[in-house]
Amino acid sequence: MKTYVQLIISGFIGGLVVFAGFIFFSPRQQQGQEEISKAHFVSQNGAITPAAATADFVESAKKSTGSVVHIFAQESDEQILQNQRKQRERRRMDPFGDFFNLEDFFGGNFYTPKNGSGSGVIYSADGYIITNNHVVGFADDITVTDAAGKKFKAKKVGTDASTDLAVIKIESADSFSPMKIGDSEKVQVGEWVLAVGNPFGYLTSTVTAGIVSAKGRSLDIIQNEKAIEEFIQTDAAINPGNSGGALVNLQGELIGINTAIATPTGVFAGYSFAIPSRIVKKVVDDIIENGGNIERTSLGVGGYDVNEELVREFGLQLRSNKGFYVEEIERKSAAQMGGLLPGDVIIEINGKEINNYDDIDQVMKLNKVGDKVSIRVNRAGKEILLPVQLRKSF
């Protein structure tokens, strides 16, 4: 009996304790729930107010759209006649020309004149404009329409097929608004960018936004033996006619020239590619300074990357087991004319250390015929500095 009384008393006391705890802690729980609700509300507000980003897009667009132009390029009647003559001459020299001749089927001179359109970026106040080689490379009759709709005739200053860049110039007394050139080396993956251009030939000053998806892309899309590809990849929408247009950062600075899209349909399907401004500025300045088309060349050497095994095999005397061992030199190449010999180890070009052939390719790729480079070689344990002038490949 005593045990039952004790159990009843204990249960009663326990109930009082639970009830007291409920009364004591209940306000705090309600307060905590209110705080969680407020925190969630604040988080939502933060997520749906991209005011700073929107303002940046607006300012970037304002700064850049006035510097992007539409380009229509075509062959003149004179160039068409010249190309027709060249075509007839090629047929005449073709040993199989008499067996299969398109003119027999279609009649007349089977030649299709070329024309096309794209975008361009004003580079200087006196009318120099950057665009793609594939937009104007074939043409000698070029019309530029600025952001205000005014039309100008332009001439081709020069092209660089290896980078798919070209420079044209408006001959006019007008003063133009050049775009500020940014530093593509500072661009980071995930950064917001704008693509500005004329995507279908009539939608002038069109702006699309996206992020940088990757840098340094090489896609083998430039059809040239010495193609130079380090594309900035972005998901900003780019369509036909955007070629030669601007890829800009949120400061309205040019960080790339839009060049290609990855698509199975011919229109934008997710990714597009731009030539970095670091390459653009180098190429454009070369074209403006020297005039005419840029011709890329190679050093003209073949061999092996230096490693410990190669050092032992040839008994090389090097400060470090790095460099490029020259086994053969092309006849009449820049290397031969500059004094390089088989057995030399290239250890430095223009003050930059050479560890392997990729380093040579990286240092030399933007050089052109006529440029001078300084090459340091190790020859039988002695270092020699050779001035080499680049020349046409034979």
User: Active-site residues: which are they?
Assistant: 134, 164, 243
Helices (H), the chain: 2-47, 51-65, 77-93, 102-106, 133-136, 277-290, 308-314, 334-338, 357-364
Whole-number Å distance between alpha carbons of 229 and 214: 13
In three-state secondary structure terms, 148 is: coil
Whole-number Å distance between alpha carbons of 182 and 256: 9
Calculate the alpha carbon distances from 112 to 77, 88, 99, 181 in Å. 12, 14, 22, 38
47 φ/ψ angles, rounded to the nearest 5 degrees: -80, -25
Residues 6 or more apart in contact with residue 5 via CB below 8 angstroms? none
Whole-number Å distance between alpha carbons of 173 and 99: 55
Calculate the alpha carbon distances from 137 to 90, 167, 321, 365 in Å. 21, 10, 45, 21
Q: In terms of DSSP bridges, do strands 382-389 and 372-379 run parallel, antiparallel, or are they unpaired? A: antiparallel
With contact defined as beta carbons under 8 Å apart, do 273 and 217 qualify?
yes
213 φ/ψ angles, rounded to the nearest 5 degrees: -90, -30
Q: In terms of DSSP bridges, do strands 352-353 and 165-170 run parallel, antiparallel, or are they unpaired? A: unpaired
Whole-number Å distance between alpha carbons of 255 and 278: 8
Rg (CA), the chain: 33
Residues 6 or more apart in contact with residue 22 via CB below 8 angstroms? none
Give the number of residues written for the chain. 394
